[in-house]
């Protein structure tokens, strides 16, 4: 189980993989904002086409993206359902007590459905093609302006990278402790809510102690390797913009332009 | 100022805040430049504490005017970072000393702390990784490495900062025999190549046997020191302290008990084998 996919990164090779993570992170945020610019069928079609283009550019199997949408499918359907039956306006086709099916409701439901799906798709494109470590680097870059207001960005970055590095280690540790406790008769999968919550104690307590010991060991090791806070620290891992990132930029200028042109005011 | 001894410790004691008795009790010792020193002793005898005192992670008790000198530098608040530049430590648990998210990041960590420029780092890091034979794992994540490989990365991280002294703080105790042998041969090779001083804290008697000098500790005190020959021939003392003796000494003791006369001068497995073969042919 040590091959756990943190953040569900899927190895692959396509243009999107070679893009700078900072560009991808910014693009994802901007895309989500842009989606709210769409307000008529044409603009929604444009947004859909652009997100499908991004998905296609990853060259990954559609199943990967379906896995991204799946956990949120009920939320999407529930929200669309609410829009469908509770919007009032336009031609009313059918009405029963508070439920009403109107042309306005139908279009709204479709819009909401598209909005949700494209946002999830684009964020999936981002997380699936970017290593968690690169995302951490990108977040650090994005937070850099906060240095002016004395936010310890470098320390936060180090914390993020150590946290990410220990996710698989702690996961392994958890499995080991679970198996060890199981071999002494602990039962993690049966019983009611209270019984199960109690069964977790023999798992959590050693895990906590382990993490604290690891933290002490790690800090000793870091200090003996010359770590003394932020001052004078350089960075080994640096990100570089390349020509591929221009595609990202053009994509968004195009999207913004088309949305502004076809948008109804 | 170069002296013959790279580490000088005088009248050093150390008491952990929560404990009554000192973990290190008035120890003085010298370690020769370019030597391999092993420190042995049972658990809690103060072996690891000594190392933490030498690189300033712990500060010795005031009484008795303690003095610690590393490579001609007196250890104090101003020099502690310079001293840490000279001492590289490989710790026991390979998982808990891996800072970076990948092998290259981890090797670069020490360089980053010292403000080495990026252009220099990209030169030093691959070299250090190559020196420990981990080149094909440059971008591997720690979760995908074995314990022995992680320890090799730790050594690479130390080589990158070019220290004078390399300390193995029970660095091989969590490894399988193969991993242990690899680590030891890498350290031996590095010692010769860069003229390093090696201090190895160990429970493993074969590892201790690689040393020029062996220090035996018990309850914070230095019980005896000397060459492997001097120390390991004191079988009774070691047994009393609950320590192992090398295999050839065990065989010698058993044979002596069976009234086979083995001269006391035999101090290695090879010599013992030669002697026994000769004895056999003379019969």
| A107-123 tens-digit pLDDT | 888 888 999 889 988 88
CB-based contact A236 B143, cutoff 8 Å? no
Distance from CA of B53 to the nearest CA of A (A): 11
Would the ipTM clear 0.90, i.e. be above it? no
The pair of three-digit structure tokens given for residue B128, joined into one six-digit string:
């250090």
From residue A162, alpha-carbon distances to A238, A254, B97 in Å are 17, 38, 11
Question: Is B93 an interface residue toward A (CB < 8 Å)?
Answer: yes
State which residue of chain A sits closest to B122, comparing Cα positions: A236
pLDDT for A156-171, tens place per residue? 888 888 888 888 888 8
Q: How far apart are CA B215 and CA B279, in angstroms?
A: 34
Tokens of A42: 């044409």
Any chain B CB within 8 A of the CB of A260?
no
pLDDT given at position A3: 41
Backbone torsions φ then ψ of A95, nearest 5 degrees: -145, 135
Asked if residues B217 and B41 have their Cβ atoms less than 8 Å apart, the reply is: yes
What is the overall mean pLDDT for chain B?
A: 87
CB < 8 Å to A169, chain B: 95, 142-143
> In whole numbers, what is the pLDDT of chain A averaged over residues?
84
Contacting residues of B for A235, CB less than 8 Å apart: 112, 118
* Across A12-16, A215-219, A249-253, B175-179, least confident range: A12-16
* Alpha helix (H) residue ranges in B40-102: 47-54, 80-86
Pick the more confident residue, B167 or B17.
B167
| For residue B115, pLDDT beyond 80 | yes
- Substitution target in A164, A176, A226 with the highest count of B β-carbons within 10 Å is A226
Check CB contact under 8 Å for A234 and B121: yes
User: Would you state the pLDDT for residue A1?
Assistant: 36
A59-78 pLDDT, tens digit per residue, is 888 888 888 788 888 888 88
pLDDT recorded at residue B259: 82
- Provide mean pLDDT across the span A167-192: 87
Query: How far is residue B29 from each of residues A79, A149, B35, B175, B222, measured CA to CA in Å?
Result: 75, 51, 14, 30, 9
Confidence of residue A2 (pLDDT cuts 50, 70, 90): very low
B120 contact A CB<8A: no
Instruction: Spell B151-182 as b/e; 16+ CB within 10 A means b.
Output: bbbbbbbbbbbebbbbbbbbbbebbeeebbeb
Range scoring the smallest mean pLDDT among A15-29, A111-125, A166-180 = A15-29
Q: Environment class of residue B15 by beta-carbon count within 10 Å: exposed (0-12), middle (13-18) or buried (19+)?
A: middle
What was the pLDDT predicted at B283?
63
In percent, the amount of chain A with pLDDT more than 90 equals: 14
Q: Does B104 touch chain A (CB under 8 A)?
A: yes
Q: Do A2 and B144 touch (CB under 8 A)?
A: yes
Q: Does A4 have pLDDT greater than 50?
A: no
Q: Which of A33-37, B4-8, B131-135, B156-160 has the lowest mean pLDDT?
A: B4-8
pLDDT band for A6, please (50, 70, 90 cuts): very low
pLDDT for the residue A207: 93
What ranges make up the beta strands (E) of chain B? Answer: 5-14, 24-32, 36-40, 67-70, 73-74, 87-90, 165-169, 197-201, 213-218, 221-226
A214 has a chain B CB within 8 A of its CB: yes
Please tell me the predicted confidence (pLDDT) of residue B122. 92
Q: Which residues contact B63 (CB under 8 A, 6 or more apart)?
A: B13
A2 part of contact set with chain B, CB < 8 Å: yes
Tokens of A78: 């529930």
What's residue A83's pLDDT? 84
Task: Please indicate whether residue B98 or residue A232 has the higher confidence score (pLDDT).
Answer: B98
In this prediction, residue B74 has a pLDDT band, given cuts at 50, 70 and 90, of confident
Per-residue pLDDT band at B207 (split at 50, 70, 90): confident
Q: What is the mean pLDDT of residues B210-214?
A: 89
Specify the pLDDT at position A55.
86
Chain A hits for B113, Cβ within 8 Å: 225-228, 232-233
Could you tell me the pLDDT band of residue A105, with boundaries at 50, 70 and 90? confident
Question: Is A164 in CB contact (< 8 Å) with chain B?
Answer: yes
CA distance A169 to chain B (A): 6
For residue B128, give how far its alpha carbon lies from the nearest alpha carbon of chain A (Å).
14
Q: CB contact, 8 Å: A210 with chain B?
A: no
Task: Identify the pLDDT of residue A5.
Answer: 45
For residue A214, name the pLDDT band (cuts at 50, 70, 90). very high
More confident residue, A91 or B143: B143
Q: What is the mean pLDDT of residues A85-91?
A: 71
pLDDT in tens, B38-55: 999 888 888 888 888 888
Task: State the pLDDT at residue B3.
Answer: 52
Stretch (H or E) spanning A139: helix A132-143
Q: Does A175 touch chain B (CB under 8 A)?
A: no
CB spacing of A228 vs B109 below 8 angstroms: no
By mean pLDDT, which of A202-211, B177-186, B231-240 is the weakest?
B231-240
User: What is the structure's pLDDT at A8?
Assistant: 65
- Report CA A7 to chain centroid distance, whole Å: 7
């Amino acid at each position: 189980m040590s091959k756990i996919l943190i953040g569900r990164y899927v190895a692959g090779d396509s243009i999107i993989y070679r893009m700078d993570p900072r560009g991808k992170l910014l693009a994802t945020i901007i895309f989500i904002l842009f989606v709210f610019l769409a307000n008529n069928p044409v603009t929604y079609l444009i947004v859909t086409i652009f997100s499908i283009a991004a998905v296609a550019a990853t060259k990954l199997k559609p199943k990967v993206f379906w896995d991204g949408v799946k956990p949120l499918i009920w939320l999407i359907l529930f929200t669309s359902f609410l829009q469908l039956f509770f919007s009032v306006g336009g031609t009313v086709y059918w009405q029963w007590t508070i439920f009403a099916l109107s042309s306005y409701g139908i279009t709204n439901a479709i819009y909401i459905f598209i909005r949700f799906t494209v946002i999830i798709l684009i964020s999936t494109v981002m997380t699936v093609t970017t290593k968690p470590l690169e995302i951490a680097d990108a977040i650090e870059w994005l937070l850099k302006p906060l240095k002016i207001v004395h936010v310890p960005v470098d320390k936060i970055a180090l914390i993020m990278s150590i946290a990410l590095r220990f996710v698989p280690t702690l996961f392994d540790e958890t499995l080991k402790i679970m198996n060890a406790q199981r071999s002494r008769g602990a039962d993690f999968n049966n019983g009611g809510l209270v019984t199960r919550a109690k069964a977790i104690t023999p798992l959590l307590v050693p895990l906590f102690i382990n993490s604290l010991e690891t933290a002490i060991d790690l800090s000793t090791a870091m200090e003996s390797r010359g770590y003394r806070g932020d001052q004078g620290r350089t960075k080994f891992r640096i990100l570089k913009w390349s020509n591929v990132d221009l595609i990202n930029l053009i994509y968004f200028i195009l999207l913004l332009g088309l949305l502004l042109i076809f948008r109804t005011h | 100022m170069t002296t013959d001894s790279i580490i000088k410790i005088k009248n050093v004691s150390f008491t952990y805040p929560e404990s009554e008795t000192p973990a290190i009790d008035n120890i003085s010792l010298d370690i020769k430049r370019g030597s391999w020193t092993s420190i042995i002793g049972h658990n809690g005898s103060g072996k690891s504490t000594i190392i933490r005192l030498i690189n300033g992670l712990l500060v010795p008790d005031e009484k008795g005017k303690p003095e610690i000198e590393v490579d001609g530098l007196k250890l104090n608040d101003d020099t502690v970072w310079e001293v840490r530049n000279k001492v590289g430590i490989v710790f026991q648990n390979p998982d808990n000393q891996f800072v970076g998210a990948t092998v290259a990041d981890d090797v670069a960590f020490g360089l980053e702390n010292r403000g080495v420029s990026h252009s220099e780092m990209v030169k030093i890091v691959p070299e250090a990784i190559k020196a420990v034979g981990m080149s094909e794992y440059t971008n591997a994540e720690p979760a995908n490495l074995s314990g022995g490989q992680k320890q090799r990365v730790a050594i690479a991280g130390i080589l990158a900062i070019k220290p004078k002294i390399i300390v193995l703080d029970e660095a091989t105790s969590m490894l399988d025999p193969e991993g242990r042998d690899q680590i030891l041969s890498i350290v031996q090779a590095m010692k010769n190549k860069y003229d390093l001083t090696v201090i190895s804290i160990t429970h493993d008697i074969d590892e201790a046997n690689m040393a020029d000098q062996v220090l035996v500790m018990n309850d914070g005190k230095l019980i005896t020191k000397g060459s492997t020959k001097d120390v390991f021939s004191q079988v009774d003392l070691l047994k009393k302290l609950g320590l192992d003796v090398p295999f050839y000494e065990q065989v010698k003791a058993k044979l002596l008990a069976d009234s086979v006369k083995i001269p006391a001068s035999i101090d290695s497995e090879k010599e013992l084998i030669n002697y026994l073969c000769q004895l056999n042919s003379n019969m």
